[in-house]
């Protein structure tokens, strides 16, 4: 941060549905990352240049009382807020305007926490956006800056404690997958598979799915974001399952593709093995210094070789390809990796070289609509200072032989 600057971070709203119904509260990941506070109507101020040392970190939480405790449950007291966050100075939220005005008389610049994630597309005005709008009106003579570039840097490189939480989330996902391997059979509905995952996740202290699950049988797997999950799983088809458990606000992100019958056909196995080889080779490219764009170009070359081997492309397709949309994109049209962490598509630098302790997915796929087959495989890996990445999903079955063995062991 610049000298003389203050940064503000707001909790998320509780979003309404209709009548008196609301979505379950999900904390804004930035204020959670910086403070550990997982409660609505909280504000964090960071002001390293404050004249008073006690105002260099300030937390505001909603005042609680016995009535709130009875109707909504226990909320943070000032003492508990300090215990959770490590921040000594805690005020009730109704004191915010007075304290904030006083601190802004010392500050020259305010850092706003705008959402600059490359996939963001929000049409809802957030609590953060309302705060920014009000600040610009109330403090027109101040300079404005962006906290997001700083957060992209620090959130992208994970602390050991974060990697531990991510591993717990992946371990819960593993339990769900093993449960489904013994459950899946012809005639089972996709939503029944989803329910098996959810049952296992919640009984292991997850709040549920880290993102909307994809349970795509047969040709549904060729719809990349298929989430209806309402069709039967039929003998002879594959089921693509893109699911991940949440744990303590941290996400996991797994994809496995398994045969409904418990056995891959020869063609299914050949395509499966091709995707697995691409995933394994791509994983080895995730080392410190790797450029994200160049990495995807290299993975595209690996995939092209596999598609030639499967007979899905020929040499003429490759020779005449459009450099802006290479031939392999006909069968593998999405990216291979994204940052993982508090968000499934997490914050993290993408225009600078990769660093140790960044966590990425690796998720190649081959989609063949005219064969009613789509296969994607995905693990979550941690870049190491040296050597191969650490696969947080190394214990989740992925080899075709092991999957067949587990599905037929009952």
End-to-end CA distance of the chain: 59
User: Which of 83, 334, 371, 402 does the annotation list as catalytic?
Assistant: 334
Cβ neighbours around 303 below 10 Å, total: 27
User: Which of 13, 194, 378, 404 does the annotation list as catalytic?
Assistant: 378
User: Which of 197, 200, 367, 379 does the annotation list as catalytic?
Assistant: 367
User: Which of 13, 57, 194, 242 does the annotation list as catalytic?
Assistant: 242
Q: Are 378 and 244 in contact (CB under 8 A)?
A: no
Q: Phi and psi dihedrals of 25, rounded to 5?
A: -65, 135
Is 117 tagged catalytic?
Answer: no
Q: How far apart are CA 69 and CA 76, in angstroms?
A: 10
Token duo for residue 186 = 């012809």
Q: Are 32 and 9 in contact (CB under 8 A)?
A: no
Is 272 tagged catalytic?
Answer: no
Task: Single out the residue of 359, 401, 405, 375 nearest to residue 170, CA to CA.
Answer: 359
Is 225 tagged catalytic?
Answer: yes
Q: Are 241 and 193 in contact (CB under 8 A)?
A: yes
Q: What is the DSSP string of 63-84?
A: ---HHHHHHT-----HHHHHHH
Is 314 tagged catalytic?
Answer: no
Q: How far apart are CA 285 and CA 301, in angstroms?
A: 13
**H-helix or E-strand containing 30?**
helix 29-35
Task: Single out the residue of 90, 92, 131, 96 nearest to residue 110, CA to CA.
Answer: 131
Is 253 tagged catalytic?
Answer: yes
Q: Edge-to-edge, what's the strand order for the sheet holding 57-61?
A: 89-92, 57-61, 43-46, 5-10, 109-112, 143-146
Is 334 tagged catalytic?
Answer: yes
User: Which of 28, 376, 379, 380 does the annotation list as catalytic?
Assistant: 376
User: Which of 162, 200, 253, 404 does the annotation list as catalytic?
Assistant: 253
Is 67 tagged catalytic?
Answer: no
Task: Single out the residue of 403, 141, 115 nearest to residue 272, CA to CA.
Answer: 403
Is 339 tagged catalytic?
Answer: no
Token duo for residue 404 = 């067949």
Is 20 tagged catalytic?
Answer: yes
User: Which of 119, 225, 266, 385 does the annotation list as catalytic?
Assistant: 225
Task: Single out the residue of 24, 22, 94 nearest to residue 64, CA to CA.
Answer: 94
User: Which of 128, 363, 379, 404 does the annotation list as catalytic?
Assistant: 363
Is 95 tagged catalytic?
Answer: no
In our burial notation (b when 16+ CB lie closer than 10 A, e otherwise), range 330-369 reads ebbeeebbbbbbbbbbbbbbeeeebbebbbbbbbbbbbbe
User: Which of 338, 379, 380, 404 does the annotation list as catalytic?
Assistant: 338
Catalytic residue ranges: 20, 225, 242, 253, 334, 338, 345, 363, 367, 376, 378
């Amino acid at each position: 941060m610049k000298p003389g600057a203050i940064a503000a971070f707001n909790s998320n709203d509780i979003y309404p549905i209709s009548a008196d119904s609301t979505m379950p509260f999900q904390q804004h990941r930035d204020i959670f990352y910086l403070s550990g506070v997982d409660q609505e109507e909280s504000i964090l101020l960071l002001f390293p240049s404050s004249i008073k040392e006690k105002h260099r970190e300030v937390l505001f939480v909603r005042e609680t009382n016995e009535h709130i405790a009875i109707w909504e449950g226990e909320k943070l007291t000032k003492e508990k807020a300090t215990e959770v966050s490590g921040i000594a100075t805690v005020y009730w939220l109704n004191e915010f305007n007075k304290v904030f005005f006083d601190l802004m008389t010392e500050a020259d610049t305010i850092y706003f926490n705008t959402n600059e994630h490359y996939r963001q597309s929000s049409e809802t005005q957030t609590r953060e956006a309302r705060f920014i709008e009000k600040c610009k009106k109330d403090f027109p003579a101040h300079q404005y800056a962006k906290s997001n570039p700083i957060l992209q840097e620090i959130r992208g490189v994970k602390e050991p404690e974060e990697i531990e939480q991510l591993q717990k989330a992946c371990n819960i996902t593993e339990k769900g997958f093993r449960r489904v391997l013994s459950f899946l059979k012809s005639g089972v509905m996709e939503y029944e598979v989803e329910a098996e995952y959810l049952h296992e996740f919640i009984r292991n202290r997850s709040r549920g799915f880290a993102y909307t699950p994809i349970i795509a049988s047969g040709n549904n797997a060729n719809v990349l974001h298929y989430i209806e999950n309402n069709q039967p799983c039929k003998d002879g088809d594959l089921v693509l399952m893109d699911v991940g458990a949440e744990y303590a606000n941290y996400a996991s992100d797994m994809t496995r593709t398994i045969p409904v019958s418990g056995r891959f056909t020869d063609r299914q196995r050949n395509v499966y093995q091709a995707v697995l080889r691409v995933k394994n080779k791509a994983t080895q490219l995730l080392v410190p210094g790797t450029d994200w764009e160049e990495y995807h170009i290299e993975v595209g070359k690996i995939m092209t070789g596999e598609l030639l081997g499967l007979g899905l492309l020929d040499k003429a397709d490759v020779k005449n390809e459009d450099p802006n949309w290479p031939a392999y994109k006909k069968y593998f049209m999405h990216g291979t990796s994204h940052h993982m962490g508090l968000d499934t598509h997490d914050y993290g630098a993408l225009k600078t070289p990769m660093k140790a302790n960044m966590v990425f997915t690796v998720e190649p796929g081959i989609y063949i609509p005219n064969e009613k087959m789509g296969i994607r495989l995905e693990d979550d890996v941690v870049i190491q200072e040296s050597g191969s990445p650490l696969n947080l999903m190394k214990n989740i079955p992925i080899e075709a032989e092991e999957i067949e063995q587990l599905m037929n062991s009952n």
